[in-house]
Chains A and B, each alone.
Chain A
Amino acid sequence: MKTSFVFSGAGGQGIMSAGITLAQTAIDVGKHATYLPEYGPEQRGGSAKCTVVVSDEPIVSPLPRQCDNLIVMNEQAYEKFIWDLKPDGILLANANRVKEAPDRDDVKVILVPVDDVALELGNPKTANIILLGVLTGATGIVTREIFVQSLTEKFGKKPDVLEMNVRALDKGIEIGQQYK
């Protein structure tokens, strides 16, 4: 089983970190993963994109043309990559920044106002973790336990940051489970 994810949005929206966290988490559950960032000349504010491939087998090509899951954080990313999503794939979009009526009816659409949810939780920076939570809840690609374990490895030295991220993850999973 091989699953591909494209994450995209504006620089600063946590796109790259979401991709790395997903890939790391997949490895933690014993799967194989590749993370490939697409880098541009801008250090800040440009567009951000990364491709993550997760598989039970060692990964041969890390360069799929079309992905199984497209996660977009803004309208620009949506416009650019919506046709790179496979038929029957999952579109997970930030409803705060992407229009409500997607162009495609052959994909499963999950629209979550992650910016609002993150604000409600008290930290807008957790939007990317909420999205990963939604993905986890909706696809079961990895389990909550392993995700928490990776977050602990990453933020273990800052208990308040860890706590915030785990809450964001749980909120995302709760939302995602409605789309299972």
Chain B
Amino acid sequence: MGEKRFMKGNEAIAEAAVRGGCRFFAGYPITPQNEIPEYLSWRLPEVGGAYVQGESEVASVNMVYGASAMGVRAMTSSSGPGISLKAEGISYLAAAALPAVIVNISRGGPGLGSIQPAQSDYLQATKALGHGGFHCMVFAPASAQEAVDVLYDAWDYAERDRNPVLVLMDGCLGNIMEEVELPPMKELHDEDLPEWSLTRRNGRDWQGNITPIYTEPILEGLNAMAGEMYKGWEEDDVKVETFMTEDAEYVVVAYGIAARVAKEAVLTLRAEGVKIGLIRPITLFPYPKAAIRDLDYTQVKGIIDIEMTVPAQMREDIELQVMGRCPVYEYGRSGGCLLDDDGVLEAIREVLEGGEA
């Protein structure tokens, strides 16, 4: 039985990271994620870890690059504009095959946008988190508790793959306070440091080096290996919640905070006898393709994509699986205007009544 606490999402993320073995953090202030660095600035030293406030997001992600090369579980966090600045470093992490965890508590965009919550970074997170055509596993928890669970295990994926992992949440989930159950501290030992790490030269008779630079034909081979890794994720690592889809005539697809508001609407409509269900991707990459592709389209009359961004960004991924077998509708709020229960319910009702969402 874990320890229960009423915690802010951002602080729950930070504490779960520490318990999951994070011992290095570098970041730069940006709303709405500031509680993560603030918390870790005192928490990491308590457990023998290190915290650095970088001079920029660019510097911070490169500090993570350095710490990760030493085999230490390292993390940075930011919000949209800062994630753009980290894009260079994330690409280098992927190139150098270095594990790391990056958290994006997203807000309205593009540009400086707004500091209020929004789910405006889906495309950036899933399609191109940096240059050069690489992917990270992208987790999209929908509650403080799920964020705790994801952060606790994030380095297990990152180290398994030697690839960065992205956790995508929005400002609502970063700032919400909810009850969470915290897992116990993972015990990490020096002898468990990854064998590739540059930590201990002594006793090692080979040169330790880590580089993001390769030439042909080695780079092509590495690109192909990355491709195999992404396929492996699709087979083994997809996480998705499907809710009341068995007999559903309408299926809502939503992730993160939008999925919670959407689920409330599904529950309300079910109580009225409407055959409606929800598919909630927990991993946005690998995308839960099968959950959408394998729906019974003789039964499903429409798919409704609900996101806290306008226009919807996940829609293309949905449509690739629906393959024209039923209409796809979208509803969203954007730019810091939040989704709410009534708005989502009304939008779904419009679809049910034959209108557009």
Contacts and interface: CB of A to CB of B under 8 A. Distances in A.
Interaction A to B: yes
Interface string A21-41: 001100100001111111111
A27 B179 contact: yes
Nearest to A64: B341
A61 B175 contact: no
A61 B341 contact: yes
A77 B206 CA distance: 67
B261 A61 contact: yes
Contacts of B31: 39, 41
By size class, the interface of chain A is: 20 to 34
A140 interface: no
A76 B153 CA distance: 45
A20 B177 contact: yes
Interface string B238-260: 00000000000000000001001
A65 B177 contact: no
B115 interface: yes
B339 A63 contact: yes
Contacts of A37: 175
B340 interface: yes
A61 B179 CA distance: 14
A62 interface: yes
A162 B123 CA distance: 50
Contacts of B171: 39
Contacts of A41: 31, 115
Given A20-B177, A32-B179, A39-B31, A63 B340 contact: yes
B267 interface: yes
A66 interface: yes
B117 to A, nearest CB: 9
Contacts of B263: 60-61
A66 B343 CA distance: 11
Contact of B264 (A24, A35, A36, A61): A61
Contact of A35 (B115, B177, B338): B177
Contact of B341 (A24, A35, A63): A63
B176 A65 contact: no
Contacts of B343: 65
A153 B280 CA distance: 38
Interface residues of B, number: 24
Nearest to A31: B179
A27 B4 CA distance: 11
Contacts of B177: 20, 23, 34-36
Contacts of B261: 61, 63
B350 interface: no
A36 B172 contact: yes
B288 interface: no
Contacts of A32: 179
Contact of B172 (A33, A62, A66): A62
Nearest to B261: A61
B178 interface: yes
B356 interface: no
B176 A36 contact: yes
B42 interface: no
B179 A62 contact: no
Contact of A60 (B6, B115, B264, B338): B264
B267 A60 contact: yes
B342 interface: yes
A49 to B, nearest CB: 12
B175 A36 contact: yes
B32 interface: yes
Contacts of B115: 39-41
A2 B322 CA distance: 36
B346 to A, nearest CB: 9
Contact of B338 (A24, A27, A63): A63
Contacts of B176: 34-36, 62
Contact of A65 (B178, B179, B342): B342
A42 B335 CA distance: 18
B178 A34 contact: yes
Interface in A103-158: none
Contacts of A66: 342
A18 B297 CA distance: 49
Contacts of A34: 176-178
Interface of B: 6, 31-32, 115-116, 171-172, 175-179, 257, 260-261, 263-264, 267, 338-343
Query: 6 smallest A-B Cβ distances: which pairs?
Result: A61-B264, A65-B340, A65-B342, A35-B177, A61-B261, A60-B264
Interface of A: 20, 23-24, 27, 32-41, 59-66
21 contacts: A23-B6, A33-B179, A34-B177, A35-B177, A35-B178, A36-B172, A36-B175, A36-B176, A39-B115, A40-B115, A41-B115, A61-B260, A61-B261, A61-B341, A62-B172, A62-B176, A63-B172, A63-B341, A64-B342, A65-B341, A65-B342
